[in-house]
Amino acid sequence: MNQFMEFTRDIFAQMQIQADFLGPQFVMDAHRDLGLRASLFPADKDTADTFLTPDPDFVQKNIVYKIFDPFECNYILIPYKKDHQILIIGPFLLEPANFQEIKKIAREMNIPAGRNEYLNQYFSTLPLLPTSNCVDAILDSLAPTIYNEEHYDIQTITIPRKTQTAYNEKQPVANRNAIKELEMRYSVEKKMMDAVTRGDEQAVIATIESNAYYFHSEQRASNILRNSKNYMIILNTLLRKAVQRRNVHPVYLDQVSRRYAIQIENMNNMNEGREIQRAMIHDYCELVLRHTTSGYTQLIQDVLNYIAMFPSSDLSLDHIADQYAVNKCYLST
């Protein structure tokens, strides 16, 4: 097997994009699209018009296909005739799928309105690449390497959207991929929150950056900036709940949470959002490092919070012992 083809498969796999080798004949099986067509259409329906019918000799002609199907999912077909194989990559998205776009797809393909919830769930599990430039760069580098001096052609094919007439009567159920993605999302969130409880700012950032797909995949609004704000609001909540585990006083939590809630709503662009995210992670981790009272008795927790919140008041042992109605000798030990 060609090492460059394997390397390409591994690159896309690292981006959470399905990539597999097929034999010399291309077949769009029921699971290639992660169950989308099988869930929507009856088993006896021919769905060939919803995907590419490639040139019968595309393997021999070294034709690489970049495919944009009627559901706005992207696929790549890369043939390699020396090994009699085809690398198929996808599905993945190049733009976030929002409610309005999903409704438009359903309307133009005559998909029953009751399937919209399933479609939204389906699209929320698909990996999202921020730009097509990375795909183009990979293919532009790979093709001359694997085809050497032979002629090759990279074609972009858009499959037109047509009205469909036959759909499954039963409501689609969550596919295994959607369940797996949901489990992974909660696992990643837990890992991130555990890092916050340690005050480990770098670990929090690394977890978010290396698992960005799980933090940004669900698009609930038609506006990208609004989606980003929604994500930031959720992150603000997760960070606050993680810090709360370390018995940081609600006064501190409320100050930071309210400050960033206002900043998030007032942000005007995505770059500003990234700056707010970094600052928010830093401030919540600092709360853990500076104000955690975990490991102390309730009395000592109360005293520490009192000292931190009223630094200009009388902080003598006598006064604090009187405030909490305890013996000063007991308090000092």
pLDDT per position as a tens digit, 61-90: 999 999 999 999 999 999 999 888 999 999
In whole angstroms, give the CA distance from residue 169 to residue 132: 36
Q: Is 281 in the same domain as 309?
A: no
Q: Which pLDDT score, from 0 to 100, does residue 68 have? A: 95
* Total domains present in the chain: 3
Residues spanned by the domain of 44: 3-158
Higher confidence at residue 25 or residue 178?
25
Q: Is 111 in the same domain as 76?
A: yes
Residues 6+ apart with CB under 8 A from 70: 50, 105, 109, 159, 160, 161, 162
Element (H, E) at 158: strand 153-158
Q: Which pLDDT score, from 0 to 100, does residue 4 have? A: 93
Q: What's the whole-number mean pLDDT along residues 154-177?
A: 74
Considering the domain boundaries, does residue 207 fall inside one? yes
pLDDT of residue 241 exceeding 80, the answer is yes
Q: Which pLDDT score, from 0 to 100, does residue 119 have? A: 87
Q: Is 181 in the same domain as 120?
A: no
- pTM tops 0.75, yes or no: no
In whole angstroms, give the CA distance from residue 6 to residue 114: 41
Q: Is 101 in the same domain as 67?
A: yes
Considering the domain boundaries, does residue 169 fall inside one? no
pLDDT confidence band for 136 (50 / 70 / 90): very high
For 155, the 3-state DSSP assignment is strand
Q: Is 312 in the same domain as 283?
A: no
Widest CA span in the chain: 91
pLDDT per position as a tens digit, 84-94: 899 999 999 99
pLDDT of residue 239 exceeding 60, the answer is yes
Beta bridge partners of 75: 67
**What do you get for the CA distance between the two ends of the chain, in Å?**
71
In whole angstroms, give the CA distance from residue 207 to residue 203: 6
Instruction: Report the C-alpha dihedral over residues 66, 21, 19, 188, rounded to 10 degrees.
Output: 180
pLDDT of residue 292 exceeding 80, the answer is no
Considering the domain boundaries, does residue 76 fall inside one? yes
- In order, the DSSP letters of 81-115 are GGGTEEEEEEEEBSS---HHHHHHHHHHTT--GGG
Q: Is 120 in the same domain as 33?
A: yes
Measured CA to CA in angstroms, residue 46 lies from 32, 124, 164 at distances of: 15, 26, 11
Q: Which pLDDT score, from 0 to 100, does residue 279 have? A: 95
Q: Is 49 in the same domain as 118?
A: yes
Q: Which pLDDT score, from 0 to 100, does residue 165 have? A: 66
Pairing of strands 153-158, 85-92: unpaired
Considering the domain boundaries, does residue 170 fall inside one? no
Residue with tokens 């052609």: 153
Report which residue type is found at 131.
T
Q: Is 92 in the same domain as 14?
A: yes
Write down the H helix ranges in 53-200: 99-108, 116-125, 133-147, 176-197
User: What sign does the CA torsion over 19, 22, 25, 28 have?
Assistant: negative
pLDDT of residue 314 exceeding 70, the answer is no
Considering the domain boundaries, does residue 61 fall inside one? yes
Q: Is 183 in the same domain as 119?
A: no
Q: Is 92 in the same domain as 208?
A: no
Q: Which pLDDT score, from 0 to 100, does residue 294 have? A: 58
Q: Is 282 in the same domain as 302?
A: no
Residues 6+ apart with CB under 8 A from 51: 28, 67, 69, 159
Q: Which pLDDT score, from 0 to 100, does residue 163 have? A: 76
Q: Please give the distance of CA 168 from its chain centroid, rounded to a whole number.
A: 29
Q: Which pLDDT score, from 0 to 100, does residue 297 have? A: 65
Half-sphere exposure of 34 (CA within 13 A, CB side): 28
